[in-house]
């Protein structure tokens, strides 16, 4: 990745299934600074969980550091539109650190963070991001995580005035997919998608 630090041509980068870990995510963060031209990055299944330490006979894993590196880079980035981080181990702490980089980010439209052991703390931070007008997320996949009914409810409250989110994938979480909150999210995102299509036609 060092050879890409002065990249001015490559816009799509797929490093999925390469076990780059947090060290790789730190190097990658240098590629998506404010001068980056990369618009598509796939980092699926890369063991991005950053910190590993032993407590007695237990191995503890934290994704905060890997998420922090990418979050910091996203704060400055002005080109990235698609980011796939599914099948990593961000956990709540790493997911929150990643989201910190989205507060002032206006180019990212597609975010896949499925299967990252994300729960309530992540959901609260995600709800805050969804309420910020400069955030332009359109398609977000948070499937196969640990979101419960209360988490989905907090997201529901956040998207009431959101006009950009067109799809939020929630399958395989710990919530009730038949709940009113889930159905509300489906209605809002569907309406946003229709409005987006109409604007494209006009």
pLDDT in tens, 183-196: 999 999 999 999 99
Query: Which of 62, 124, 80 lies closest to 99, judged by CA?
Result: 124
Indicate if the pLDDT at residue 110 is higher than 70: yes
What pLDDT shows up at residue 50?
Answer: 44
Q: How many CB atoms lie within 10 A of CB 6?
A: 8
pLDDT in tens, 49-98: 745 444 444 434 444 577 888 999 999 999 999 999 999 989 999 999 99
Indicate if the pLDDT at residue 25 is higher than 80: yes
Give the pLDDT mean for 122-126.
97
Q: Are 110 and 136 in contact (CB under 8 A)?
A: no
The pair of three-digit structure tokens given for residue 138, joined into one six-digit string: 């359109």
Give the pLDDT mean for 142-169.
97
Give the pLDDT mean for 165-189.
97
Q: How far apart are CA 11 and CA 37, in angstroms?
A: 6
- CA distances to 158, 159, 188 from 148, rounded to whole Å, are 16, 17, 20
* Cross-strand pairs, 54: 59
The pair of three-digit structure tokens given for residue 181, joined into one six-digit string: 């909150």
Number of H helices, E strands in the chain: 6, 8
- CA distances to 43, 102, 116, 167, 191 from 46, rounded to whole Å, are 6, 21, 11, 25, 35
Indicate if the pLDDT at residue 108 is higher than 50: yes
Which of 3-12, 32-41, 91-100, 137-146 is modeled with the greatest confidence?
Answer: 137-146
> pLDDT grade, residue 1 (50/70/90)?
low
Pairing of the two strands 12-14 and 40-42? parallel
Q: What is the DSSP letter of 32?
A: G
Could you tell me the pTM of the whole model? 0.90
What's the distance, CA 110 to chain centroid? 8
């Amino acid at each position: 990745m060092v050879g890409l630090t002065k990249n001015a041509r490559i816009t799509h980068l797929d490093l999925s299934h390469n076990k780059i870990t947090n060290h790789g995510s730190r190097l990658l963060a240098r590629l998506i600074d404010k001068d980056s031209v990369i618009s598509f990055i796939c980092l699926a299944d890369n063991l991005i969980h950053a910190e590993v330490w032993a407590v007695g006979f237990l191995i503890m894993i934290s994704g905060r550091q890997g998420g922090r590196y990418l979050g910091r880079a996203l704060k400055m980035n002005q080109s990235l539109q698609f980011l796939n981080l599914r099948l990593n181990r961000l956990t709540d702490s790493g997911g929150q650190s990643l989201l910190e980089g989205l507060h002032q980010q206006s180019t990212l439209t597609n975010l896949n963070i499925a299967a990252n052991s994300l729960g309530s703390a992540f959901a609260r931070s995600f709800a805050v991001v969804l309420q910020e007008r400069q955030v332009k997320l359109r398609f977000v996949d948070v499937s196969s995580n640990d979101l419960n009914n209360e988490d989905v409810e907090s997201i529901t409250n956040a998207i009431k005035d959101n006009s950009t989110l067109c799809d939020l994938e929630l399958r395989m979480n710990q919530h009730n997919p038949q709940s009113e909150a889930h159905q509300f999210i489906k209605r809002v995102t569907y309406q946003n998608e229709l409005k987006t299509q109409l604007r494209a036609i006009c």
